[in-house]
Chain A
Amino acid sequence: MSTVPVLTVENLAVAYQTRGGDVQAIRDISFEIARAQTFGLVGESGCGKSTTAWAILNFLGPNGAVKRGRIQFQGQDLLGRTAEELRRLRGDQIAMVYQDPMQALNPSVRIGEQMKEVLTVHRGLSDVAATRRCVAMLERVYMPDPEDILRRYPHQLSGGQQQRVVIATALLNNPALLIMDEPTTALDVTVEAAVLDLIAELRRDFDTAILLITHNLGVIARTCDQVGVMYAGELVERAAVADLFADPQHPYTQGLLRALPRLGADKADSVLYPIRGRVPLPGNRPSGCLFAPRCDYAQELCRAERPALRLLPNGAWVRCHFAEEIDPAAWVPRDDFVPPRPQPAASDSPPILTANGLKKYYSLPGNSLRDILGLGEKRFVHALENATFAVLRGTTLGVVGESGSGKSTLVKTLIGLEASSGGEASFLGFDLTGDLSGRDTALIRELQMVFQNPDATMNPAYTVGYQLARPMRRLGIVPRSQIRAEVVRLLESVRLGENYLDRLPRQLSGGEKQRIGIARALASRPELVLCDEPVSALDVSVQAALLNLLLDVQREYGTTLIFIAHDLSAVRYISDQVAVMYLGEIVDIGPAEAIFAPPYHPYTEALLSAIPSPDPLARQQRIRLAGPVPSAVNPPGGCRFHTRCPRRELLPDGGRICATDIPPWRDADDGHRILCHIPLETLRALPPVGAAPTATSD
């Protein structure tokens, strides 16, 4: 009927009042979203993505205000209205889904009460009618047993289920516009895939316009029609999804795409190019083009004059003076960029770490009287079961799996934060089965760790220099007189300068903090560094720089790495060997290129097909795992994966054997081992997962 967009944002500018004066968070944001269309906003953290969403919802907080511009929802202005007018106008027509489902749900109220509230308060429906609609909506988002879900509390649901509940609640009133702020960032890749499928399907069925905010270009490619790339509070490029990925116009977009590890890429034949520098803070933005200080094409004009968002002949909007002249194909890295030169993995080097049947059980306190008296049967969480692997000196072992698969337990057991419950592990002749208190200093020196969240693992009160010097003092690496020089050398090896010595952690950016984290792990010149999700919390461009840094460090010091990540592309990029874990067990282990090519373990195959590929044209197989990860207290018998395995029916008898017998290790070539009942020939015959172009090479 009408072709008016559902949402129109025109020249929007938002500023926050601070003691130091107004800080302009975003400016000149313009876009529109048509009915049943998804518009993606992508950019690094601090670029103003969420501020844009909050401005639409008038949710800016007491110190935020829209300074300029227009926001029109279904042809009516949202700005300059009283709260009551706004409530009526917006009413139940705009809904929002936040990043963390646990924060959107009230932990002390049952799911049913929270969902029904939407209908009973907004629509005045009776309790019975509201319940009926909630059940129907939960069924719509594929929640098993919806009546039961309504009676539960949020903590009794898994993360993916919680997010489904939040999405279902948002859709209860059939909104015309749905704003989703990083809806899948907190979820596992397999759950993320299912939620993204759901979003696409719901958009079709409900004709809802969606504003999707994410930092993940893969998510954008999979779900959106139009994308806006934000940088430092401005929209620098706006285009159709296919055009953006095929032919990015703005140097920032090009940089983001170059910094992204692709699933098929490994460290030998591809290089990640980080974007140098960092996003300028709102109070500190340059006067010309905001991206000029980081841009490889910047010229005099860029520093002097701010470019306007203009329409290019191919239909893309871009904020760059020289968009027509820039050819991304002709791009060469700057002279000061040294590509990491990974050393070829020497397959004949001796194993530095071997684990044989390593186990870790956590005992579970019961709460019956018998348990308290110690008479009850002891129950255990089987967090790590029979881990058997060897890591060769100077190579990287990548460990992947969903959350709860035992990746972190493996690392904690190795480093000694937890004593193992059984099995053997030896490292350079040391026994690794006990916990840290019983370990020799010499062992501690050789075995170090990089943590996921640098904020939580650095003491905010100590300077960088002190924090780096501490392990040297404690472990007696260098004489006291040389500590300062050694710290400076370390800082340089992580590409930071001597001027960082006296800084405090709060004066560093996220990427810099993680560099310090790596430097601290290297301070004792260890043989083996365990990295637990070291790049997961970082932006794409910074992540690329850190992956490169790890490769460089490995080459310089010959360090062996164990690298945990849930991002399979990053693992593929950095690892020589990869172990895939499921429910505490290693199910698939071998050289990286073998893991990412057929024959796949069915679980690996599902993980690979779940990754949102940053290429809108890639035709990925859709293998979705049903149901949540089973409990590790009572892991399924036989093959632990049999309850969710999508390939089980390939076996005769519907795979009854999977439920009863523990599967054998099957040896594919060159050290690739798969824990599965399905014969290798059958697994080989499966088609390669579309996103891995190398898959057909063997």
Chain B
Amino acid sequence: MLVRDCMTRHPIMAPPTMLATEAQHLMHENDIRHLPVVGDGKRLLGLVDRMSFALDPGALPSLDLWEITRHLSRLSVMDVMTPADSVATIPPDHSVERAARYMTEHGLSCLPVVEEEAVVGLLTKADLLNAFQVLLGLPAEGVRVTMRMPDQPGEFAKLTAVLGRQSWGVMGMGTFPTPRREGFYDAVVKICGVGVDEVLAVLSQVTGQEVVDIREVV
């Protein structure tokens, strides 16, 4: 799964001349938290998020109400955005995990996806969480089973061989090193079209592996 597969395409974008108040309204209306600012040819100029609208008291001569209003009414997106050179971006052909790591490392909640200098999409935390659900097969009904297996080659093949013999369809899958147990791996597999008992009966026969968790989930 690459960035291009899970990003939001055709995000709402703002021209640099848009008033900050208008941008705020637009983000509120559409319930979005990030607004890329683009010039001609969708070239990224900056990024506006909800924090951008925080009033900078230093920019005001006084805290007079009229003074504030006047200041706000003149403020354009250009003035409040984080400029492009300090916005981290990602190309669409990077892997999702790399994007996720980048975002967690730098504490970002959104990455504009840029290809040949044009913004082609937006990758947000919400998109990554969506991708996560899809990877584990959430949208479809089925049995979710967690198998614990020793960390050595050939173990996973055992599991797939059993699945293959039963002609069961797998809708989602993920493996990860078992927390707090060295030398073991957990594999979460979502199987469709069968019942919990049937799956348990068949998978508990797999030698050297253990059914850690099994549940029927929607």
Listed in ascending order, the chain A residues whose CB lies under 8 Å from chain B are 1-4, 6, 35, 74-76, 85, 88-89, 91-93, 122-125, 129, 133, 173-176, 206-209
Contact = CB atoms under 8 A, between A and B. Distances in A.
A92 B12 contact: no
A75 B10 contact: no
Contact of A4 (B13, B30, B117): B30
A1 B9 contact: no
A123 B41 CA distance: 4
A1 B127 contact: yes
B177 interface: no
Interface residues of B, number: 25
Given A1-B32, A1-B122, A207 B12 contact: no
Interface in B148-194: none
A123 B10 contact: no
Given A2-B30, A74-B12, A123 B17 contact: no
Interface class of chain B by DSSP: mixed
B42 A92 contact: yes
A92 B10 contact: no
Interface in B82-137: 116-118, 120, 122, 124, 126-127
Contact of A2 (B17, B32, B117, B120): B32
A133 B116 contact: yes
In this complex, which of B12, B26, B122 has the most chain A Cβ atoms within 10 angstroms of its Cβ? Answer: B12
21 contacts: A1-B32, A1-B124, A2-B12, A2-B31, A2-B32, A4-B12, A4-B31, A35-B10, A74-B12, A75-B30, A89-B15, A92-B41, A123-B118, A124-B40, A125-B41, A129-B116, A133-B116, A174-B42, A174-B118, A176-B9, A207-B10
A6 B10 contact: yes
B146 interface: no
Contacts of A35: 9-10
B64 interface: no
Contacts of A133: 116
Contacts of B40: 91, 122-124
A87 to B, nearest CB: 9
B76 interface: no
B17 A88 contact: yes
B31 A123 contact: no
Contact of B15 (A88, A123, A174, A176): A88
A88 B118 CA distance: 15
A493 to B, nearest CB: 57
Interface class of chain A by DSSP: loop
Nearest to A6: B10
A175 B8 CA distance: 14
In this complex, which of A75, A85, A92, A93 has the most chain B Cβ atoms within 10 angstroms of its Cβ? Answer: A75
Interface of B: 8-13, 15, 17, 26, 29-32, 40-43, 116-118, 120, 122, 124, 126-127
Contacts of B127: 1
A137 B159 CA distance: 43
Contacts of B15: 85, 88-89
B29 A75 contact: yes
B126 A1 contact: yes
Contacts of B117: 123
B41 A75 contact: no
Contacts of B116: 125, 129, 133
Nearest to A176: B10
A208 B10 contact: yes
A76 B8 CA distance: 18
Give me the 9 closest cross-chain CB pairs, A-B, nearest first. Answer: A123-B41, A176-B10, A207-B9, A88-B15, A75-B30, A1-B8, A4-B30, A74-B12, A2-B30
A207 B4 CA distance: 11
In this complex, which of A3, A4, A6, A206 has the most chain B Cβ atoms within 10 angstroms of its Cβ? Answer: A4
A1 B128 CA distance: 11
A124 B41 contact: yes
B120 to A, nearest CB: 6
A5 to B, nearest CB: 10
A334 to B, nearest CB: 49
A73 to B, nearest CB: 9
B12 A75 contact: yes
A76 B9 contact: no
B163 to A, nearest CB: 29
A148 to B, nearest CB: 24
In this complex, which of A76, A93, A176 has the most chain B Cβ atoms within 10 angstroms of its Cβ? Answer: A76
Contacts of A208: 10
Contacts of A3: 31
A572 B14 CA distance: 54
Contacts of B31: 2-4
A146 B89 CA distance: 32
A570 to B, nearest CB: 40
B96 to A, nearest CB: 16
A175 B120 CA distance: 10
A607 to B, nearest CB: 36
In this complex, which of A6, A123, A125 has the most chain B Cβ atoms within 10 angstroms of its Cβ? Answer: A123
Given A1-B124, A129-B116, A133-B116, A75 B42 contact: no
A125 B124 CA distance: 28
A588 B118 CA distance: 53
Given A2-B30, A122-B41, A206 B12 contact: no
B175 to A, nearest CB: 29
Contacts of B118: 123, 174
A85 B8 CA distance: 25
Nearest to A123: B41
Contacts of A125: 41, 116
A175 B31 CA distance: 22
A75 B127 CA distance: 20
A208 B120 CA distance: 12
Nearest to B127: A1
Contacts of B10: 6, 35, 74, 93, 174-176, 207-209
Contacts of B13: 74
Contacts of B120: 174
Contacts of A88: 15, 17
B12 to A, nearest CB: 5
A373 to B, nearest CB: 56
A129 B122 CA distance: 23
A133 B192 CA distance: 42
Contacts of B29: 4, 75
A174 B120 CA distance: 8
A1 B26 contact: no
B8 A123 contact: no
A503 B8 CA distance: 59
A206 B9 contact: yes
Given A2-B30, A75-B29, A123 B42 contact: yes
Nearest to B11: A1
A3 B130 CA distance: 14
B124 to A, nearest CB: 6
B14 to A, nearest CB: 9
A129 B42 CA distance: 16
A440 B116 CA distance: 71
